[in-house]
Amino acid sequence: MPLPPTTVPPGDQTPAAGVRARSAGDRTVAVDRGGRDDACPGALRLHPAHDGALARIRLPGGLLTGRQARALAEVAEELGDGRVELTSRGNLQLRGLAEGCGARLADRLRTAGLLPSDAHDRVRNIVASPLSGLDGAGHADVPAWARELDTLLCTAGSGELSGLSGLSGLSGRFLFALDDGRGDVAALGADVTLLATPGGGAVLRMGSAGSAGATGPVLRVTAAGDAPRAAALAALEFLTRAEESGIRAWRVRDLPPQHAVMAQGLAARLAEAGIALGPDPDIAGGPEGAHSAPGPAPGPVAGPDGRHTLSVAVPLGRMSAAQWRLLAALASRDGTDELRVTPWRGVVLPGFTPEDGRTAAAELAAAGLVTDPRSPWLGVGACTGLPGCAKSLADVRADAGRTVASAVASGEPRTVPLPVYFSGCERRCGHPGGRWVDALATGVGYRITVRGAPDTTGASEDPDGVDVTAEQVADAVAAARGTR
């Protein structure tokens, strides 16, 4: 049975003084972290871009209904540039928003159930294993965890949740990852990660893990039902440490060593809340190899009940409102009326019969979306670039498209090689984690660099890279990805 993918907390959550309103307890944290809020965009705080305002709409766990998806398509066409963007955190963005449309946008999102709490809009950053409960793998129903954690974030400070007061002080960059045990979103470097374990329970990790181990404590939560509350309390422990540090710490890795979250302090906070802990985990919070987790491959995914889930990739994470509306229509017509946006800029549609899944895949492919696991678009990403971003030095999306076309024309092996990400400036907004090829615009071409931890063959990061012209970038990228 599909879970309703939104959380609508009781009561009036409208902030008292505009979209930046916070409770009295949260103001202390904001002041102690530098006296100003972070600039991460949201549904209420629009970001001024070269092509108009940008809104980022949080989808905890990537979950939404067909009705909500159709409402977003209408908003994109009526208020924005008619397109929908998928982010590396499983959220959505609308671009090209007209000046002065903020109030209308907020009203439309509230009506659709996509803005349950004004005060907590930007803290609802939750990624979850997108195939959880659909393919027979994994050890927990993490969409249910996502719903419960979202409720805790949005209603913190009220009633029985008064002990969680202050969570609206999290920055828009703070990330929760809920992994059902398969190790996909556990590899995304979240600030708080829950990794489901066999037989119930979860590993709770703070900070990302790498070759040197976790950057924060790793504890074992005995009961799966306590996992979402443990994640919320871990975030509160981070806020306490950030407040004590007196510096602006948006994420766990920003905390100075003398104010780092410690296992003893976190365990005490959890015990005080009645959360039982088991023996120390014998893993560092889950698998996290040299490559970033690939996410679901495009195409049908068989489930144990005979139903199929359809995994769809979106080239460069951007689609037209018509393409987005088609996804919503297929989810409602042949699926469970649920869409799951993935952190790999894709969409998962559950609940198809095998025949309906094949028909839907053909419709989506004809509309320009990817349902073939051998597509040359896989692993290729890009920031906004010109003309949408004034800081960009190139039209990186066009150059990425030409690189894909070159791969098709040259007959490169149809496998998924090392990811490549085209960036218009040094900020590299939205780039992947793990090991990847960095194609950075320089104004006269691109600098191609392999970044990330050494892979299983022992190949290490190339700190210098190679400078190429725009005409040479396709060949240089193919060489760096290992396809030529």
pLDDT of residue 281: 83
**Alpha carbon distance 99, 112 (integer Å):** 22
Q: Catalogue the long-range contacts made by 99-102 (C-beta closer than 8 Å, 24 or more residues apart).
A: 99/52, 99/53, 101/53, 102/44, 102/46, 102/53
What H or E segment, with its residue span, contains residue 327? helix 321-334
Q: pLDDT tens digit string along 115-150?
A: 999 999 999 999 999 999 999 999 999 999 999 999
The alpha carbon dihedral of 189, 190, 191, 195 has a sign of: negative
pLDDT of residue 37: 59
Q: What angle do CA 148, 151, 156 make, to 5 degrees?
A: 125
Nearest to 133, CA basis, from 91, 180, 90, 89: 180
pLDDT of residue 211: 37
Residue 281 is classified by DSSP as P
pLDDT of residue 411: 74
pLDDT of residue 160: 56
Strands, sheet with 83-86, edge to edge from the N-terminal-most edge strand: 47-49, 52-57, 92-97, 83-86, 318-320
Q: Which residues contact 123 (CB under 8 A, 6 or more apart)?
A: 153, 167, 168, 170, 171, 172, 174
Q: Which residues contact 216 (CB under 8 A, 6 or more apart)?
A: 205, 206, 207, 252, 260, 261
Name residue 30's beta-bridge partners. none
pLDDT of residue 453: 63
pLDDT of residue 209: 55
pLDDT of residue 415: 62
What averages of pLDDT result for each successive group of 10 residues across the chain (484 residues)?
35 31 29 53 93 96 98 97 96 94 97 95 97 96 97 76 78 97 93 95 84 69 97 96 92 94 96 94 49 76 96 97 98 97 97 97 98 93 93 96 90 74 95 90 96 59 82 94 76
Residue 379 is classified by DSSP as T
Q: What pTM, to 2 d.p., does this model score? A: 0.88
